[in-house]
Amino acid sequence: MTFPQDTWSETVRSGACRRPVLCVLLWIATAASLQATPSNRAALEKHYDRFLTKGLNQCATCHLPGAPKNPESLEEIPHNPFGDRLMLLGKELEAAGKAKDLVARLVIIAAEDADGDGVGNEAELLAGSGPGDAKDAPLPDQLVQAPERRAEFDQFLAAYCWQPFERVRRPAVPVVSRPEWIRNPIDAFVSAEHDTRGLKPRPDAPKAVLLRRVYLDLIGLSPTPEEQRAFAADAAPDAYEKVVDRLLQDPRYGERWGRHWMDVWRYSDWAGWTDGNQIRDSQRHIWRWRDWIVESLNADKGYDRMLLEMLAGDELKPEDPATQRATGFLARNYKMLSREQWLEDTVKHTSQAFMGVTVGCAKCHDHMFDPVSQAEYFQMRAIFEPHQVRIDHVPGELDTTKNGVARVYDVAENPPTYFLNRGDERKPDKERVMQPGVPKALAGVPLEIAPVPLSQDAAVPERREFVIRETLAASDQSVAKALDILVKEYTEPKATPESHRLRELELAKAEGQRVALHAVLRAEELEVRSQKDSEPWKQAAKKALAAQRASAVSAAQLALHRAEQAEEKSREKLTKEAQAALAKAETEAKAELTVAYKPRMAATYPATSTGRRRAFAQWLTQRTHPLTARVAANHLWLRHFGRGIVATPDDFGRSGARPSHPALLDWLAEELMANGWKMKPLHRLLVTSSAYRMSSTPDEANAALDLDNIYLWRMPSRRMEAELVRDNIFYVAGNLDLTMSGPEVDNAEGLTSPRRSLYLRLAAEKEVEFLRIFDGPSVTECYQRHPSVMPQQALALANSELALKQSRILAQRIAEHTADDAEAFVRQSFERVLARAATAEEFAECVAFLSGMDDKVQPVANRESDAARLRERLILVLINHNDFVTIR
Amino acid sequence: MGFTGLVLGSLLFQDGVGRAVGSDAAWQPPDGKPHLPPKAKSVIWIFLCGGVSHLESFDVKPALNQYAGKSIDETPFAGVLAQENKDIVGGNPKHGNRKVIMPLQTGFKPYGESGLVVGDWFQNIGTCADDLAVVRSLWTIHNDHGAQLTWQTGRHPRELNHPTLGAWICYGLGTLNQNLPEYVVLGVPTGDCCGGTFTHGASYLGPEHGGVRLKVDRKNPLPFISPKDNALSAEEQLENLSLLGKLNYLSGIDYPDDQQLRARIKAYELAFQMQTSIPDVMQIDQESAETKQLYGIDKPESKAFGEQCLVARHLVEKGVRFVQLFHGGGGGGEWDAHSDMKGNHGKLSAQVDQPIAGLLKDLKQRGLLDETLVVFGTEFGRSPGAEGTGRDHHPQGFSAWLAGGGVKGGITHGATDELGFNAVENRHYVTDIHATVLQLMGLDSYKLEIPGRKRLEVDHGEIIHKILA
């Protein structure tokens, strides 16, 4: 039994290409034999690819039996007539100063008949007989098949040569038979496939359908009735483009597309136990990275810059916490229980998200399909080996568990990356310390690593001006508070001498701590200015120690007082202990002063970073990198058109799917880079193309040729992503809270919080069930969504508090304007919920539904509430309508 | 059914299958009647994710103990390495190239009248030996966990989604119970790396024939099972559904080929029924203590899978066509014992051995085994050669078994070589299992073909006649 390994190979030629460039994919397949294969033979194989039968892939195709064993080139004689001709032609071409590579020569002599057996050279090669051996001519039935084979070969030669591991070159825009359909170059590429396959593009979608499509696509929210009317009334030829431009400037664009990129970049809030006392995955405050994503997209920051900041924001802008938020991309991989897993996830997903290469497979062995060796895997790991996570203060909050910036930094000690035998962390090869590097087959240039000096603020973030100011202020506040309490105590009628004494001692303690803090900060300041061991420092340190000792005495006095007031049964014991502690503190206070004061708990970090991640990010975002732009453009296309040009967006390698429109993808990748990696121009190009504007209605003739619409003869219908379903229920009811940014909202509030879904907590075991049911993102891996149709979705939309409550609210809102006019109610309901007018039949059905109760005998007293209830139910039905969750 | 959806649905769509319109005017969608006399009504399709060792389960090789520590080259069976496994994608499998023989990591003994030798890890299933038809000569095309998808659809993961066996059966036969999904998925399916939702998807047959995941959760058998605060009466729900059906029909006229819409209409009707049917099938507490023991529900290690097996029985009792039970799912799969073979398979087999044996016995005592086909499978075997303390992936030869409706009990079919390296006798690609199951369900795979949807010979597979009763 043979198995079809390449069912798509007729459409894309990614194996062997005619250009004299080493085609990486072929190279892998033949890597083992390449060394032993003379270059001419390799060129022959490459040119004819699968059309060359095995028997012709050998010396005897050109040489006679008397030639040396394994001839290295055509210089070695004797040849047969075919080899002779190739050799002589090479000399002629050289003399004429023309290209003389073997492929050029093969093309020139294709139609000639070297051995004079009446069948041309190429015809013989395609039929599997020797072109240089007159005795070896094709059999009659082989000649019968020749035209078909010839046509297949010609098609193969003409196919676009897609080389995902070679740098992007902008392909020529095809000339097509339907120029009136072409709105921009995207359409030319799509139309070229239509031409090839005899497909006819569907007409432009009706205005209402297009408007809802582009609203949901760009900002994730349905157009309001006012927006629908304005667009319907705008007869200008660029009415649609004006809408697109406005939506791209809408900050809700960043939220909509931010969520898309959060899928690819694996956004996850922290996960762990006991209310965050133990963080097991990701980090606290990772929402700041989400805000950075939304802000960056809205500002149209270049994709290259975004990657740089996510991978190395701390090295690029050591002074700027706003940029460091971006490194949440890395901090998110934190795994308390396993550094090994943490780094494994980092290498695997950095590679898949940005390069579409499953580098992670090479941890245990050389990659089986793509050009990544196991050693290169560990070189990539070495890039990330020194990085760790930390949480820095933000102004306004001294407790970093309550607020802060989760970010990465490189540790000072240079932890070695050992080659792990079979990828097993228990089996490091200590002889093989891996240096940072990247797979050679990708982009072809090495990393350029230079250490990054960091500022004082980055190294000792707790010395930053605002942290000290707020620390002092907090101390002042404690004193003020203690004083306040004491003053109140003096006017308190029930006060006792003991309670007065308690408050006095509390104040004394707070004062003591404040004095000590000032003294310590002074000493610290001198240390930071590298004046440690100087005379002023010695004095300051001693002063700090004295203040700390005095503060300790105050604290001990307070403790003793409290012990004396304790309950009787434990009083004696506690008092004794407290007396001893006070005695000790007093003794220490009298001891000779030294410089050994107790420093503040202020973390100190290295003053340089390795620069490895910065170098990697620069390597990744250079224009010659073959994959970065292709992968990004594919992700954009996938989310606009419902299917990637490469249908496996995380795998552009040999195990991935072949592209449907390879030339278009290359063109888009180049366009992205040419626009300074800005995404908004590309979005604009995509959504203003004729391809995007097509109707999604079916067509029998096209379906007969391309059932799955791979070649895009219509716009595919799609189901809303989970977040859109939820957001739009709130939104059409007029209740969506459009507040942007901020800490994640508790997932328990998923059905009640009116914030957009991207702000809801999402982590392992902390997700909103409603979103999960609609195929919401997995935090482990989500390179694309796979929308399903499940009965659970029907229950969620029909029975959930969310759907029921919002239906009720919307029904009341509409009824306020329409009073008892059922027809007006139906009209407005359709506009609000489905962003379109009701057809006559729909209208009739809904009006009948609203009047349903009239047919029944009901007590008059209930009439009002029955009508209201029916209206609510009608809205609920529309929210459950297929057209609500579907983007046509 | 008292409301509109299905009726309107059938008017609207004819069949709802994505096919090339007009390419074959004579073509008719399946009418739900089997093409041949069926031997079974339902399938319980057990799938163990990650690759179960055939060597220590149902294809025990004592030679591995004899040659333990030797390289395969040094044994009389050095020839096994010479076979070219060119069908396996990768061609140069770095997985599976383990040469130093590892001894069996568990004991083994013969069971029943048939004397079927089974590894001790599966000793409970061993007691059902006389009901099993073990196929020992399977091979697959992918040497990584994407083969999990291959087991379900017959295709390599880079060919993306194709209908699974369960989808074909449901497409061909329809349902026996309008109140439950025709195709139910229990347990955690394969991770996204290795097929993800495609492992229970219907591809071009339309999502209405795909697997519906259910969680065995007594506290919350079905999320959003009834209207919050009972806001709507059952009558009102039905009226709503009726209007919804009409509206979906009306706006669907422009999209007669929309499989999503068709599936959604069906999902709404099903959902309404599931509000009452699901708590019923998820009912475990009402089972007797003996039954719970039989399934291992009384033991912590086998409780979870035991409950799933018991629910699987409830489902087939109620007429669900295809129950797909995943064990060890997510990521590459838990059975992937690259190291600590003994620990890994020891622990995992304790989770499944008794539940599966219990399921077989329970079906039998209730007279259900005659009409229920139980299939036990995994994506590939594990290598005879050691990978440290583990065994590597091994697509060149592995085992599965079938039991119940229409299958001969107490037999083995096909064989690997003495080391369990290559399937050598009566070799079967994974779709041969599909062909056999379809045959037993009374379906002719070729008659299910849809115009414009080219299926290959390899997709249809070949029926394994020798194991049919």
CA distance A6 to chain B (A): 9
pLDDT reported for residue A129: 86
- Mean pLDDT, to the nearest integer, of A128-140? 85
| pLDDT at B88 (0 to 100) | 65
Nearest of B54, B148, B161, B159 to residue B108 by alpha carbon: B54
pLDDT of A568 = 87
Element (H, E) at A203: none
- Verify whether the Cβ–Cβ distance A882 to B252 is below 8 Å: yes
The pLDDT value recorded for residue B97 is: 64
Give the residue, A82 or A277, on which the prediction is more confident.
A82
Query: In the prediction, which pLDDT does A52 show?
Result: 81
> How many interface pairs between A and B have CB atoms less than 8 angstroms apart?
197
How does strand B372-378 pair with strand B398-404? antiparallel
Among A656, A773, A791, select the one facing B181 at the smallest CB separation. Answer: A791
B4: chain A residues, CB-CB within 8 Å: none
Which residue is it, tokens 């016995």?
B361
Write the pLDDT tens digit of every residue in B268-310: 999 999 999 999 999 999 999 999 999 999 999 999 999 999 9
Distance from CA of B12 to the nearest CA of A (A): 14
Spell out which residues of chain A touch residue B158, defining contact as CB-CB under 8 Å.
648, 651, 655-657
What pLDDT sits at residue A350?
97
Kindly tell me if the per-residue pLDDT of B91 is higher than 50. Answer: no
Mean pLDDT of chain A: 90
Give every CB contact of residue A513 below 8 A, 6+ residues apart in sequence. Answer: A475, A478, A551
Choose among B243, B250, B388: nearest Cβ to A849: B243
Q: A128 by DSSP, 3-state: which?
A: coil
Chain A partners within 8 Å of B254 (Cβ): 697
Q: How many whole angstroms from its chain centre is CA A56?
A: 47
User: In this predicted model, what pLDDT tens digit does every residue of B15-41 receive, in sequence order?
Assistant: 555 555 555 667 788 888 999 999 999
Tell if the CB–CB gap between B458 and A1 is shorter than 8 Å.
Answer: yes
* Nearest-CA distance B394 → chain A (Å): 15
Q: Are strands A387-392 and B322-327 parallel, antiparallel or unpaired?
A: unpaired
How many Å lie between the alpha carbon of B293 and the closest alpha carbon of chain A?
30
pLDDT of res. B25: 63
CB within 8 Å: B247 and A842:
yes
Q: Which residue's entry shows tokens 């969680």?
A: B215
Predicted local distance difference test score (pLDDT) of residue A4:
42
Considering only residues A655 and A395, tell me which one the structure prediction assigns the higher pLDDT: A395
Question: In a mutagenesis test of the A interface, which of B222, B247, B268 is the best target, namely the one with the most A β-carbons within 10 Å?
Answer: B247
Contact A790 B267 (CB under 8 A): yes
- DSSP H helices, B91-232, are 123-126, 147-153, 165-173
Tokens representing A135 are 């005795």
Nearest chain A residue to B330 by CA: give it.
Answer: A780
Rounded CA-CA distance A434/B436 in Å is 52
pLDDT band at A329 (very low <50, low <70, confident <90, very high): very high
> For residue A23, what pLDDT band results from cuts at 50, 70 and 90?
very low
Q: Residues A145-180: pLDDT tens digits?
A: 888 888 888 877 878 889 999 999 999 999 999 999
Neighbours of B300 (CB within 10 A): 9
Give contacts of A880 with chain B, Cβ < 8 Å.
Answer: 240, 244, 268
Q: How far apart are CA A150 and CA B327, in angstroms?
A: 51
The per-residue pLDDT for B284 is 92
Predicted confidence at residue A547, as pLDDT, reads: 95
String of DSSP letters for A487-531: HHHHH-TT--HHHHHHHHHHHHHHHHHHHHHHHHHHHHHHHHTT-
Mutate to test the interface with A, among B264, B340, B431, B449 (most CBs of A within 10 A): B264
pLDDT at B18: 56
Encode pLDDT of A454-500 as tens digits.
988 899 898 899 999 999 999 999 999 999 999 998 888 888 888 88
Task: Give the nearest chain A residue to B185 (CA atoms).
Answer: A790
Determine how many CB atoms are found less than 10 A away from the CB of residue A600.
16
A540 within 8 A of A522, measured Cβ to Cβ? yes
- Looking at residue A456, its pLDDT comes to 86
> How many Å lie between the alpha carbon of A662 and the closest alpha carbon of chain B?
17
Please determine, for residue A54, whether its predicted confidence score (pLDDT) is greater than 70. no
Cα torsion for A605, A606, A607, A611, to the nearest 10°?
-120
Report the chain A residue with the minimal C-alpha distance to residue B179. Answer: A791
Reported residue count of chain A is 888
Q: Is residue A66 over pLDDT 90?
A: no
**Cβ-defined contact of B250 to A427 (cutoff 8 Å):** no
State the pLDDT confidence band at B434, using cuts at 50, 70 and 90: very high
How far apart (Å, rounded) are the C-alpha atoms in residues A277 and A283? 12
The mean pLDDT of A795-812, rounded to a whole number, is 97
Q: Do residues A716 and B18 touch, judged by C-beta distance below 8 A?
A: no
pLDDT of residue B6: 40
- pLDDT category of residue A5 using cuts at 50, 70 and 90: very low
Of all residues in chain B, the percent with pLDDT exceeding 90 is 75
Determine which of A369-373, A759-763, B350-354 has the lowest per-residue pLDDT on average. Answer: A369-373
**pLDDT greater at residue B325 or residue A365:** B325
Please tell me if residue B258 touches chain A, with a CB cutoff of 8 Å.
yes
Is the pLDDT score of B443 beyond 60? yes
Higher-pLDDT residue of B79, B158 = B79
Decide if B260 touches A, using CB distance below 8 A. Answer: yes
For residue B402, what is the enclosing H or E element? strand B398-404
Q: What Å distances lie between residue A280 and A342, A409, A746, A764, CA to CA?
A: 11, 19, 18, 10
pLDDT value for A7: 39
Given a cut of 80, whether residue B12 has pLDDT beyond it is no
- B338 in reach of chain A (CB within 8 A): yes
Determine the residue among A199, A351, A368, A784 to mutate to test chain B binding: the one whose Cβ has the most chain B Cβ atoms within 10 Å.
A368
Which value, to the nearest 10 degrees, does the dihedral of the CA atoms of residues B351, B356, B361, B362 take?
Answer: 90
Flag if B247 and A427 touch (Cβ within 8 Å).
no
Characterize the bridge pairing of strands A271-273 and B398-404.
Answer: unpaired
If pLDDT is split at 50, 70 and 90, which confidence band does A22 have?
Answer: very low
pLDDT, position A231: 98
pLDDT above 80: residue B458 = yes
Does A856 score more than 70 pLDDT? no
* Cα dihedral sign, B149-B155-B157-B163: negative
For residue A760, what are its two tokens? 């809801």
Per-residue pLDDT tens digits for A560-570: 999 998 888 88
How far is Cα B36 from Cα B444, in angstroms, rounded to an integer?
8
> Taking all residues of chain B, what is their mean pLDDT, rounded to a whole number?
90
- Could A881 and B251 be called an inter-chain contact, meaning their C-beta atoms sit closer than 8 Å? yes
Please write the tens of the pLDDT for every residue from B154-190. 998 878 889 999 999 999 999 899 899 999 999 999 9
Q: Quick one: pLDDT at residue B86? A: 58
Read off the tokens for B79: 């020839």
The amino acid at residue A8 is W
- Give the one of B92, B239, B267 whose C-beta lies nearest to A789's C-beta: B267
- Separation of alpha carbons B427 and B418, rounded Å: 15
> Span A662-677, mean pLDDT?
98
Q: Between residues 413 and 432 of chain B, which touch chain A (CB distance below 8 Å)?
A: 429
Gap between the Cα atoms of A633 and A179, Å rounded: 25
Measured between beta carbons, the chain B residues lying within 8 angstroms of A696 are 255
Residue range A88-99: average pLDDT?
89
Check if B36 contacts A (Cβ < 8 Å).
no
Alpha-carbon Rg for chain A, nearest whole angstrom, is: 36
pLDDT of residue A772: 93
Q: Which residue of A has its CA nearest to B196?
A: A786
Residue B158 is nearest to which of A648, A782, A798, comparing CB atoms?
A: A648
DSSP class of A410: E
CA A422 to chain centre: 29
Q: What is the pLDDT of residue B17?
A: 56
User: What is residue A737's DSSP assignment?
Assistant: B
**Cα–Cα dist B217/A186, whole Å:** 50
Sort out which chain B residues have CB atoms less than 8 A from A782's CB and list them.
192
Q: Give the closest residue to A419 by CA, choosing from A433, A405, A402.
A: A433
Q: How far is B359 from chain A (nearest CA, A)?
A: 27
Angle formed by the axes of helices A287-298 and A251-264, nearest 10°: 130
Inter-residue contact A690 to A201 (CB < 8 Å):
yes
> Does residue A25 carry a pLDDT above 60?
no
Please state the three-class secondary structure of A749-814 as a single string: HCCCCCECHHHECCECCECCHHHHHCCCCCCCCCCCCCCCCCHHHHHHHHHCHHHHHHHHHHHHHH
- Asked if A877's CB is within 8 angstroms of B247's CB, the reply is yes
Helices (H), A497-621: 497-528, 535-564, 568-590, 612-620
Residue A8: is its pLDDT beyond 90? no
Which candidate in B158, B276, B430 is best for mutational testing of the A interface (most A CBs within 10 A)? B158
- Please give the pLDDT value at position B158: 76
In B274-313, the residues whose Cβ lies within 8 Å of chain A are 274-275
* Residue A217 clears pLDDT 80, i.e. is over it: yes
The pLDDT score that the predictor gives to residue B87 is 61
**What's the mean pLDDT in B394-409?**
96
